[in-house]
Amino acid sequence: MLDAYRLEKHRLTRIEQEDLPQCLSEAIWVQLVEPTAEELESLQTLYHFPFPTIDEIEGLEASSHYEVYEEALQFNTLFLHKVGGIPRNTNVAMILCENRLICICARELPAFRLLRMRAHRDPTVISDPESIVLNLMEIKVDDLADILEEAGRQLENLSIQVLGRVEVDYRGSIDHLAEIEDLNGKVRICLMDGQRDLNFLLRRGRLDEQHVDWLRDMLRDVDTLLPHNTYLSEKVDFVLNAAMGFINIEQNQIIKIFSIAAVVFLPPTLVASIYGMNFHFMPELDWRWGYPIAVVLMLVSAVTPYLLFKRKGWL
């Protein structure tokens, strides 16, 4: 799918699909979501630029992330968003070419919609292709900060439940901790990727002084978020280890009870087994008080280990 936008009276305006062939050269921002081979070919013919495919965009090697041309530059950046309710990182190729920005990605991103909404409310948000790039990067950093803040709140609640050990579902808590750690890992990849992209733009972006100051502010924000991301990862490990430790303690307590019960009931079982045999020559069988003596012997043999364990503090 191909969408294009141009500036009309300093306002971002969408070019209608039927006007795209003749008006595409006027676009300041072109978006290609799951582009077809025909759409890429038409853009290459119009802009005389080798646009990457989705497979090339998804490459992780540094050579695939950054390209500098005589009149253009390209960098790939990750955006974290939910796909079917599951957090996913989507790689977006951003190409500054002939006074326009071209974005190529595998799926529609919420950051694109949010920027269009901002531009609709405040036309001064977008003035050139570089401002679109920096706005998108700012939305990315703000979203990651919000995700970390929400993950921190959820982790704090889990920490209170696990460490307080009051009506805690350890299995559910461990599942939730795994989800938080997975999300935190995706955020870290995005932050490191964004830091690298912002440094690339700072070196090669041909930005004016105002844009450079804006970019440096975002770099400082990323530098602040990375230690917080590390702290959350460490706290997840701590809470997870605490939960596993409490589970082991409860399991050991259960095993301890069964072990003590086995020891307590072993002597009476032994006595009952002996007198349950049916040998003909057993002198106790003819005793008048044989049965009561056997019962008392079983009780004494059961109570004695219990009192011993109680005295030693094992119960």
Is residue 106 one of the residues assigned to a domain?
yes
**pLDDT at residue 62, as a whole number:** 46
Chosen domain end from 127, 148, 177: 127
Alpha carbons 269 and 266: distance in angstroms, whole number: 5
Alpha carbons 19 and 13: distance in angstroms, whole number: 13
**pLDDT at residue 229, as a whole number:** 93
**pLDDT at residue 315, as a whole number:** 66
**pLDDT at residue 38, as a whole number:** 81
Chosen domain end from 64, 97, 127: 127
Alpha carbons 302 and 29: distance in angstroms, whole number: 85
Find the domain containing 25 and state its range: 1-127
* Beta strands 11-14 and 29-33, pairing class: unpaired
Residues of the chain with pLDDT under 70: 59-64, 279, 285, 314-315
Is residue 154 one of the residues assigned to a domain?
no
Is residue 191 one of the residues assigned to a domain?
no
**pLDDT at residue 47, as a whole number:** 73
Taking only the tens place, the pLDDT of each residue in 22-48 is 777 778 888 888 878 888 877 777 777
